[in-house]
Structure 1
Amino acid sequence: MLKIDSLKVNYGGIQALRNISLEVPEGKIVTLIGSNGAGKSTLLRTISGLVQPAGGEISFRSSNITGLPVQKICTAGISLVPEGRHVFTDLTVEENLRIGAYTRRSKKEISDDLSWVYELFPRLKERSWQFAGTLSGGEQQMLAVGRSLMSRPKLIMMDEPSLGLAPLVVQLIFDIIKEINRRGVTILLVEQNAHMALKTADIAYVLETGSIVAEGSGQALLADERVRAAYLGKARQEKVCS
């Protein structure tokens, strides 16, 4: 579905992404893990058109979308749940959700999808009249995901959806990610909670200083000793125990 070939991104004199190549097959959950500054968010922002690449190609459903404007990429079927949620705090929950459908025209389809989002997130339905700024962090994350779904994407990209959330809410968010995927939406997930991300993903990539250094199934990387030591805290735990 999504194919990236030799993608390069520069910030001034710094090369943020170095010849990145990866694929996101249709119907799968693909995750990117890596430390802060590795280039994960930059990759998502480049795919969505917010950052222009210095080289390489991005293909979506066999069409070259490299460098296209954001609105055309969104209309093609790609949506982004940004890091930090970025909900419209002075608008209600329902107004935020309807903004996600701004490129669409069918009132019936929008209404049907609104019902689907409320089915996924009953808490949002209970708070549909509240201003988004009054929601908890977890509820705002649900709203950001729901707003993205309202564009009816074929591919949804999520940037750190569990960041700053309580463990019980993190589990809920990952359950929702799996449910969204079961309903036919392909997912590209950037996540610092490496254990949950690898446990959930069909395919995983490890990004370090702008380069992919490992790839495989989520379960394979979860069992990889180098990945465990670097991202799952094994080395730190052993140090504490000794």
Structure 2
Amino acid sequence: MLKVTDLVVSYGGIEALKGISFEVEQGQIVTLIGANGAGKSTTLRTISGLVPPKDGRIYFEGRDITDLNTQKIVETGIAMVPEGRRVFANLTVLENLRIGAYLRKDKDAIEEDINYVYDLFPRLKERSWQLAGTLSGGEQQMLAVGRAVMTRPKLIMMDEPSLGLAPLVVKDIFKIIQTLKDTGMTVLLIEQNANAALHACDYAYVMETGRITTSGTGEELLASEAIQEAYLGKTSKS
């Protein structure tokens, strides 16, 4: 579904991505794991059209989307749940969801999708008229996911969805990611909680300083001693 080839991104004179290539198969959960500064967020921002690449190409469903602007990329069927949630704090839950559908004209289907999001996240329905800025961190993350779902994406990209959340809420978020997959969506996930991400994903890529150094199924990487040592805290070097 998504193919990234030889992607290079520079900030000033610093190369944040040094020619990475990877693929995301339709219907899978694919995760990028790595330490802070590895280039994970830059990868998602580049796919989204927020950061221009210096070199390399991005293909979505066989179409070259490298040079499209962000709105056009959303129209192709890619949505992003940004790091830090970034809900519109002074708008209600319902208003935030409607903003997610701003490119759509199908009013009846929009109402159906709002109800679908409420089915996914009953707490959002209870708080539909509450200002988003007054929600808990977990509820804001649910709202950020719901807002992305309102674009009717084929591929949903998530940047650190568990960041700063309590362990029980993190479990809920990963259940929702699995539910999205079960409903036919493809998920590209960036997550510092490598253990949770590898348990949830079909395939994973490990990023280090702008390069992809390892890849494999979630099970394969969970079983790797090198990955356990570097990311899962299984040795004294954690």
Please indicate, yes or no, whether the TM-score normalized by the shorter chain is above 0.5.
yes
The answer to whether the aligner puts 1:181 opposite 2:181 as a matched pair is yes
CA distance in 2, matches of 1:37, 1:67: 25
Q: Name 2:210's counterpart in structure 1.
A: 210
Paired residue total: 238
Letter in 2 for 1:192: Q
Q: Name 1:170's counterpart in structure 2.
A: 170
Q: Indicate the SS of the match to 2:235.
A: helix
Q: Name 1:68's counterpart in structure 2.
A: 68
Q: Indicate the SS of the match to 1:91.
A: coil
CA distance in 2, matches of 1:125, 1:205: 36
Unaligned runs of 5+ in 2: none
Letter in 1 for 2:219: Q
Q: Name 2:118's counterpart in structure 1.
A: 118
Deviation at 1:194, TM superposition (A): 0.2
Q: Name 2:44's counterpart in structure 1.
A: 44
CA distance in 2, matches of 1:119, 1:54: 42
CA distance in 2, matches of 1:227, 1:12: 31
The answer to whether the aligner puts 1:86 opposite 2:86 as a matched pair is yes
What are the superposed Cα offsets for residues 187-236 of structure 1, whole Å, 9 maximum, x if unpaired? 00000000000000000000000000000001100111000100001123
Deviation at 1:57, TM superposition (A): 0.3
Q: Indicate the SS of the match to 1:36.
A: coil
The answer to whether the aligner puts 1:159 opposite 2:159 as a matched pair is yes
Q: Indicate the SS of the match to 1:235.
A: coil
State the Cα RMSD in Å. 0.8
CA distance in 2, matches of 1:187, 1:67: 22
Deviation at 1:40, TM superposition (A): 0.1
What are the superposed Cα offsets for residues 63-85 of structure 1, whole Å, 9 maximum, x if unpaired? 00002100000000000000000
CA distance in 2, matches of 1:157, 1:220: 23
TM (norm. structure 1) is 0.97
Deviation at 1:90, TM superposition (A): 0.3
CA distance in 2, matches of 1:67, 1:192: 29
What are the superposed Cα offsets for residues 151-205 of structure 1, whole Å, 9 maximum, x if unpaired? 0000000000000000000000000000011000000000000000000000000
List structure 1 segments (4+ residues) > 6 angstroms apart after TM superposition: none
CA distance in 2, matches of 1:108, 1:62: 31
The answer to whether the aligner puts 1:96 opposite 2:96 as a matched pair is yes
CA distance in 2, matches of 1:91, 1:40: 30
Q: Name 1:145's counterpart in structure 2.
A: 145
CA distance in 2, matches of 1:50, 1:67: 11
Letter in 2 for 1:100: G
CA distance in 2, matches of 1:197, 1:220: 13
CA distance in 2, matches of 1:92, 1:60: 33
Q: Name 2:18's counterpart in structure 1.
A: 18
CA distance in 2, matches of 1:235, 1:43: 29
The answer to whether the aligner puts 1:108 opposite 2:108 as a matched pair is yes
Letter in 2 for 1:183: T
Deviation at 1:50, TM superposition (A): 0.2
The answer to whether the aligner puts 1:234 opposite 2:234 as a matched pair is yes
Letter in 2 for 1:35: A
Q: Name 1:194's counterpart in structure 2.
A: 194
What are the superposed Cα offsets for residues 5-53 of structure 1, whole Å, 9 maximum, x if unpaired? 0000001111100111000000000000000000000000000000000
